A and B are shown apart, each in its own frame.
Chain A
């Protein structure tokens, strides 16, 4: 028989479920603004890194 995996929520007393609606504003900002910005920034850094790879250091 499979043993049930112990979850931190089962171990620590006093942890209460958070109303999912309380996370809604954060989720909206992450989805609409932050994640697209992160993806764009990471892509820009990747392109910049490609340019810098050819940078010549002093012989």
Chain B
């Protein structure tokens, strides 16, 4: 990042929402407008005479644009709505949930891929409000079914009734954050870490699974009384030593990326022992799910290792040293992924995947050997119905390895007579590509 364009007198809708409902009611006079900073690389310059942005390389300004930051006229904690590309944030690493944000300046329409962040206002919004706002602003940019909520809306949505005197000086409880997500039209699930075990590995496996599914998480830390949004992760370098037993994708995570209202976005936090905190300080999180997700990650976490009971029907790798990874996606997202790599799949298997009447949301379970994990490949994959019931004995649509596939059409409650197998031909590869569709890799610039 080499150039900053300063846009004065910028009308920021988020600040205005707090101005109209809070700052304008105070004795101290506040300005109504903000300043917005736009960030570019060194090839873009501003021509004052013509008010044009000129690139010395080409006219695709978006390719040289890294996002914006609003500065509020509030005197303290002035960083307002910000969307920065993770590529220009020092220390941002790994894979991050982003959406495409459109930006209008000087008659140009620019775009930036990033995740929204801002400082908390202190007086009208605290860390929990900001974490909710970040997640919901991402949703409104990424998915057309969600509307946009401004800072003041979030503050009001947290309360059952207008408490008057909007100062949230009594703080916020997790139930308030849950309420915000409900009011926004999502179906929030609050998942808390067990206190009776030293390490609740299942809790962290689920946390990773939801992030890998593209859901930014509202994460709370009881010890810090703090809330952030978890929006990405980084894999650790592949292990060179031999590992016994089953491993999970969670065991391969080096760090998480968070949006914290006390720092610039994309803060990287380690699994343990980090300053100001680490992933092990997170003891609960809220995932704002869409409708029609009935089969929880807790169930997938338990069913995934049980799938080895079907090894006589589908070729799975050895349990010892296997890495299990699970996440949620849409049926159409899965088909799109398979279509983009159709040479990896037996034509009959591809036809089956394209023809199965998947529900809108499905859980994918991937099984990889240690060497496959290191190169981003998997040996086998299972597709679980995300609309299945907890009591469902056979929640599978499909499971396949290299040689065999097991298929269920889920058209009948009698799964015993509804199973089909399929012999697969050798497609001449040593692993299917790991499905990593939902997050964007950071490319440092």
Chain B residues near A29: list those with CB within 8 A: 306, 309
Nearest-Cβ distance from residue A46 to partner chain B, whole angstroms:
9
Chain A residues near B419: list those with CB within 8 A: 17-18, 20, 22-23
| Interface: A1 (CB within 8 A) | no
Check if A31 sits within 8 Å of B313, measured CB to CB.
no
Nearest-Cβ distance from residue B305 to partner chain A, whole angstroms:
9
Contacts A15-B420, A17-B420, A22-B312; is A8 near B171 (CB within 8 Å)?
no
| Interface: A16 (CB within 8 A) | yes
| Interface: B243 (CB within 8 A) | no
Chain B residues near A48: list those with CB within 8 A: 192-195
Interface of B is mostly: mixed
Check if B407 sits within 8 Å of A54, measured CB to CB.
no
| Interface: B348 (CB within 8 A) | yes
Contacts A52-B192, A59-B126; is A12 near B352 (CB within 8 Å)?
yes
Q: Number of contacting residues on A, CB 8 A?
A: 41
Check if B351 sits within 8 Å of A11, measured CB to CB.
yes
Complex Cα spacing A34 to B301, Å? 10
Check if A31 sits within 8 Å of B422, measured CB to CB.
no
Nearest-Cβ distance from residue B406 to partner chain A, whole angstroms:
7
Q: Number of contacting residues on B, CB 8 A?
A: 60
Complex Cα spacing A49 to B178, Å? 11
Instruction: Give me the interface of A with B, judged by CB distance under 8 Å.
Output: 5, 7-9, 11-18, 20, 22-23, 25-27, 29-31, 34-35, 37-39, 41-42, 44-45, 48-49, 51-59
Chain A residues near B357: list those with CB within 8 A: 8
Chain A residues near B169: list those with CB within 8 A: 59
Check if B312 sits within 8 Å of A14, measured CB to CB.
no
Interface of A is mostly: helix
* A25 and chain B: residue at smallest CB distance: B309
> Given B313, B356, B393, B416, which contacts A8 in the complex, CB threshold below 8 Å?
B356
> Given B191, B310, B409, which contacts A7 in the complex, CB threshold below 8 Å?
B409
Check if A34 sits within 8 Å of B313, measured CB to CB.
no
| Interface: B225 (CB within 8 A) | yes
Complex Cα spacing A58 to B172, Å? 7
Contacts A18-B421, A30-B394, A42-B298; is A8 near B194 (CB within 8 Å)?
no
Check if A45 sits within 8 Å of B191, measured CB to CB.
yes
Complex Cα spacing A51 to B423, Å? 50
Check if B173 sits within 8 Å of A26, measured CB to CB.
no
Counting residue pairs across A and B whose Cβ atoms lie within 8 Å, the total is: 148
> Given A18, A34, A55, which contacts B220 in the complex, CB threshold below 8 Å?
A55
| Interface: B48 (CB within 8 A) | no
Check if A27 sits within 8 Å of B192, measured CB to CB.
no
Name, among A12, A44, A49, the residue most crowded by chain B CB atoms within 10 Å (CB to CB). Answer: A12
Complex Cα spacing A11 to B205, Å? 37
Check if A8 sits within 8 Å of B227, measured CB to CB.
no
Nearest-Cβ distance from residue B334 to partner chain A, whole angstroms:
15
Can you sample 10 A-B contacts with CB below 8 Å? A9-B420, A12-B352, A14-B422, A35-B391, A38-B302, A42-B298, A57-B172, A57-B173, A58-B224, A59-B171
Binary flags per residue of B302-329, CB closer than 8 Å to A gives 1, else 0: 1100100110110000000000000000
Check if B422 sits within 8 Å of A57, measured CB to CB.
no
Chain B residues near A37: list those with CB within 8 A: 302
Check if B417 sits within 8 Å of A17, measured CB to CB.
yes
* B179 and chain A: residue at smallest CB distance: A53
> Given A8, A9, A12, A14, which contacts B423 in the complex, CB threshold below 8 Å?
A14
Contacts A42-B296, A54-B174, A56-B173; is A30 near B284 (CB within 8 Å)?
no
